[in-house]
Structure 1
């Protein structure tokens, strides 16, 4: 694979940001990969705000050592920002590491990142997470398109919030048996979420919506 051409104007822009002390802006720059030595330098920066900005920059995709460093950063918000980075798609080992992070906020952010599709083990870990809100974000993640067993398990979750988020997943259209189950869910919230999902067949959505209406009572004579 050949390297992308170096744009001298971009290099000048990056140099000016560094020279003027706008380090956070430098860490966020989409073309930062043109200066890989700076990427490595910023990953070790003493200011956690700089590392946080770098962690969410897709430009770090070509720097595996930097991604690994950030995944082990002592600042939880650095790891939190990294967890939402689409660059993780090429780093299933890092995804697996973050899926077991001690901070639930990191796991929560990772669970909604489509990049997790590259790590089946991490998806399984997140599906069993003790925090229901982590499972919620996983349940609505389109990355589950190739993991029907996971989305089916989340559609049976004991927490109705998780089932509601599963009902909103845009990939549900490919799983009619899960749709049928959710359309009969005991929770009105779950049925309502399913009814509003544009991926659901109209007839099923109508039935689910009908099931959200309060039951009629006999008139008092």
Structure 2
């Protein structure tokens, strides 16, 4: 891979004539970067598509190519991508429906709006993978027919399809009203009874660990139920009975459903599997009583997921912050807090409450400024990147709390150039500061040069347009390919150097 040419292919300042030259010599890697450019002319897009079909697919999905630009025989993947974009071409669809390449038929089966005769052809395809793809995306009527397909794997795909009619999904769970399946992926390949060894030594084996069949296709039947339980179109009354099912995977599939009645939630709240309780904890279906129960769960992931529940009361949420790793994010309940709740949180004697609300980036100026002077460093760190803070306020934060807040101050979108230079030279140095400064739009050449000493910040700084041109040119030969590629993509790279780089 020529990393310098790949970087140049992404350079926004590359002139059109050099772009033409680069297209003419592009390999697959360079073409991939070229295909992402927003300034390709229609003629350049067609020329690039003729060199690399993977890039042609990307150009199709970006809306840069039309059916008139594609030869379905020479560029089948691009043609299929157009069909996937609801470009109605019955002739192309019929061509691929009988293609000898099963992968192309499989891709066709995912396309919307196919002619009815093409759907019938795909539904009868001898390769079950093609029918499975059709079942995964097809319309309710076709899904209802495929629910009776003799292959259990097709039924599993129908169970996962959210367009499948609720009554059909309920039938797939129980099997009532459906003829027994005749085959599954296990008995297609192995003599039954068979249980797939989780430590299977065969490198070409793609059966799932534990897949089994004794003639009843039991592992695929289990997967059908699991898919239906996860499907939001499955009726609530068809799934609630699985809250006590012996299968952990089926209980787990149930736990995230937002339509669960309280009784099912209560049973899952005491499930022995922490993952089940964690999914339930984030489920808006649980009420305040269960939220309080789960707030005391022994598993930290349960408590962390509960903090992300949009219905968690604020008094519970502030307690959770002290017992679970929430991360530097605005939690859903905090994002939905009313103006009165925001003010109450900002004035709370509990620093955890102030920290949570400080992460919002739409705070009224008065609340933002009050939090910027908070005595707790965690609160200040949370508010430091809030737009609207002045240079004086940001410098005051750094003076009071030092290394605890410098990275967040550097991440403030309005941090001025002089402050960024000072933060990049802060003692003791904080590595995250270099990465924040290197990507900051206000970073100066001096600040960026200070960042070049940090291994992780170096590739980011190499692409910053404020870097001196002579430094950018030197970085083209850097030992780190990421740095060299970023330098080649830098719009401040001199035009004469760009021209010399293109063959």
The TM-score, its normalising length taken from structure 2, stands at: 0.32
Structure 1 residue 57: deviation in Å? 1.4
Q: Contact between 2:229 and 2:253, CA under 8 Å: does it hold in 1? A: yes
Verify: 1:28 aligned to 2:213, yes or no. Answer: no
Aligned counterpart in structure 2 of residue 58 of structure 1, from 254, 258, 261: 258
Whole-Å separation in 2 of the counterparts to 1:189 and 1:27: 42
> How much does 1:124 deviate?
1.8
Any residues of structure 2 matched to 1:120-199 within 5 Å, and which? Answer: 123-129=314-320, 130-131=322-323, 133-134=325-326, 141-145=334-338, 147-148=341-342, 149-153=344-348, 156-157=351-352, 163=355, 166-170=357-361, 173-174=363-364, 176-185=365-374, 193-197=382-386
Gaps in structure 2 of 5+ consecutive residues: 1-162, 176-220, 398-408, 410-418, 427-503
Select the structure of larger CA radius of gyration.
2
Q: Given that residues 126 and 138 in structure 1 are in contact (C-alpha distance below 8 angstroms), is that contact kept between their aligned partners in structure 2?
A: no
Q: 2:307 aligns with which of 98, 111, 116?
A: 111
1:104·1:134 contact (CA, 8 Å) conserved in 2?
A: no
Give the drift of 1:40.
2.5
Q: Deviations over 1:65-118 (max 9, x none)?
A: 101111121211111001111223xx22122221222222211111122121xx
C-alpha distance in 1 between matches for 2:330 and 2:347:
12
Q: CA deviation at 1:132?
A: 5.5
Q: Give the Å deviation of 1:39.
A: 2.2
Counterpart position of 1:3 = none
* Alpha carbons of structure 1 residues 29 and 132: separation in structure 2 relative to 1, 3 Å: closer
Distance in 1 (alpha carbons) for counterparts of 2:278 and 2:270: 11
Structure-1 separation of matches of 2:297 and 2:303: 6
Instruction: Tell me which residue corresponds to 2:276.
Output: 78
Shift of the 23–144 alpha-carbon distance from structure 1 to 2, 3 Å rule, reads same
Q: What is the CA–CA distance in structure 1 between the aligned matches of 2:231 and 2:258, rounded to whole Å?
A: 9
CA distance in 2, matches of 1:100, 1:147: 24
d(CA) in 2 for partners of 1:209 and 1:150? 22
Distance 1:105 1:115 in 2: 17
- Per the TM alignment, residue 29 of structure 1 is displaced from its structure 2 partner at its CA by 1.2
Matches of 1:135 and 1:154, distance apart in 2: 21
Q: Secondary structure at the match of 1:40?
A: helix
What count of residue pairs does the alignment treat as equivalent? 190
Structure 1 segments, 4+ long, off by >6 Å, are 135-140, 186-189
Which residue in 2 is equivalent to 1:4?
none
CA deviation map 1:184-218 (0-9, x unaligned):
35788865653544xxxx5336665565344799x
Q: Please state whether the residue corresponding to 1:85 is helix, strand or coil.
A: coil
CA distance in 1, matches of 2:285, 2:306: 12
Separation in 2 of the partners of 1:107 and 1:35?
26
Give the RMSD, CA atoms, in angstroms.
3.7
**What's the secondary structure of 1:114's corresponding residue?**
coil
Aligned mates of 2:324, 2:240 — CA distance in 1:
36
Deviations 1:151-200 (A, max 9, x none): 54387349xxx83x542225x525x4431123235788865653544xxx
Report the counterpart of residue 247 of structure 2 in structure 1: 47
Measure the CA separation in 2 of the matches of 1:17 and 1:81.
Answer: 21
SS of the aligned residue for 2:264 comes to helix
Does 1:10 find its partner at 2:203? no
TM-score by length of 1: 0.66
Deviates more, 1:69-78 or 1:16-25: 16-25
Asked if the contact 2:282–2:305 (Cα under 8 Å) also holds between the matched residues in 1, the reply is yes
Residue of structure 1 equivalent to 2:401: none
